[in-house]
Amino acid sequence: MLPPTITSAAELEISSEDQRDIDAIIQLLDDESDVVQESIDLKLRDMGEVAIHYLAEKIEKSKETNRTLLEERVRDLRFFRIEKNMRDYCDEQSGDVNLEGSLLTLCRLPYPDIDEQQWHSYLDWLAEEFKSRLPLEQNPYDNICALSQFLSDEQGFYGNTQNYYDTDNSYLNKVLQYKRGIPVTLASVYLLVGRRLGWPLIGVGTPGHFLCKWHSTDHEVFFDPYHGGHVLTRQECVALLGHMGSDRITEYLQGVSDRELLIRVVQNLLQIYKKRQEPERMRQLRILLHVIESKPEDETEN
Q: Which domains does the chain have, with CATH numbers?
A: 16-89 (1.25.10), 101-296 (3.10.620)
- β-pairing verdict for 201-206 and 180-181: unpaired
Give pLDDT, residue 6.
56
Give pLDDT, residue 5.
59
Question: Which positions of the chain have pLDDT values less than 50?
Answer: 299-302
Give pLDDT, residue 302.
45
Q: Is-contact 180 167, C-beta < 8 A? A: no
Give pLDDT, residue 286.
98
Give pLDDT, residue 260.
96
CA distances from 64 to 33, 60, 74, 123, 292 (A): 22, 9, 15, 42, 37
